[in-house]
Structure 1
Amino acid sequence: MEDRRREGDLYVPSRTLKGQRTVVCFYLNYHLVLITKLRHRCMTGPIPDRLEAPCRSNATKWEYNVLEFNGEADHVHLLLALTPKVLPSAFVYNQKTVTSRLLRKEFADHLNRYYWGKPVLRSRSYCVSAPLTPPSHAWRRADIVWAMEGLIIGVGQPERATVL
């Protein structure tokens, strides 16, 4: 039986194995940039707001959090907190497919002016980057979550934090 708790951008699963308690803490935030085909500045008006809805609605299916969402007329930035079970490349492929299909269906007249009736919206390229280390506030949140789990944490350097 697996019990899952989310505290901000940290995901802390715990489960009992033969009377032992295991706590896993990870920090997998990704900055994702999706660009339009040929960098056409076609994402104007209500399109960015409509684009945000499917990105947030897929969160339960793919087990991720959208921490930030913004962009300009030719690209979109997403700051995501993914779990280790999710491959970033598979996630990006799914997001590009779902959002492109939705926007081409709802805003066909607007997008036909830019893409001459062709069924394209996104470029095949994308950029995914990850911060090297979590911010210090993330470790403080982890201490709070671990304290809620009933464990005593020895605090020091984040990579040297030990369970006593």
Structure 2
Amino acid sequence: MAEVFFYHLTQSPLEGALRLLVEKSLGAGWRVAVRGRTDAMLDRLDAALWLGDEAGFLPHGRAGGAHDADQPVLLTTGAEAANRPDCVLAVEGAEIATGELASLKRAMVLFDGYHPQAVQGARDQWRLYKDAGVKAKYWSEESGRWTMKAET
């Protein structure tokens, strides 16, 4: 069963943190699904993964294409990802059901620390996983670097 890592964003923009986590996941040999709630958010993340910085393009695609199953990283609003991910990164409050964790190596929840609804949503998800006996780790970047602050 996957561990769930919570990333409390207070310094890094979502696009930068997502890019770093996707790079690390691909480096581990994992297939990734980035799950959001809206097409507008996925459009923003799609552009960030295409353009990026000097590091360049990260291979990915948007769900609904002819080659979804072949994508190393698939951006989707759905709970099912055709690329059979090893890792799911949830943004903008998208949920990862506890039942999904059995088939994953890692799940990640990225949330905006300056958005009260996002913080509350992450707290609710933390409690859900804790009550289900899922191992979870909470990472904060308040000091300017990522530090693990809590775990179940």
If asked which structure has higher relative contact order (CA below 8 Å, sep 6+), I would say: 2
TM tier, shorter chain?
under 0.3
User: Is the radius of gyration larger for structure 1 or structure 2?
Assistant: 1
Greater per-residue strand proportion: 1
TM-score, normalised to structure 1, is 0.25
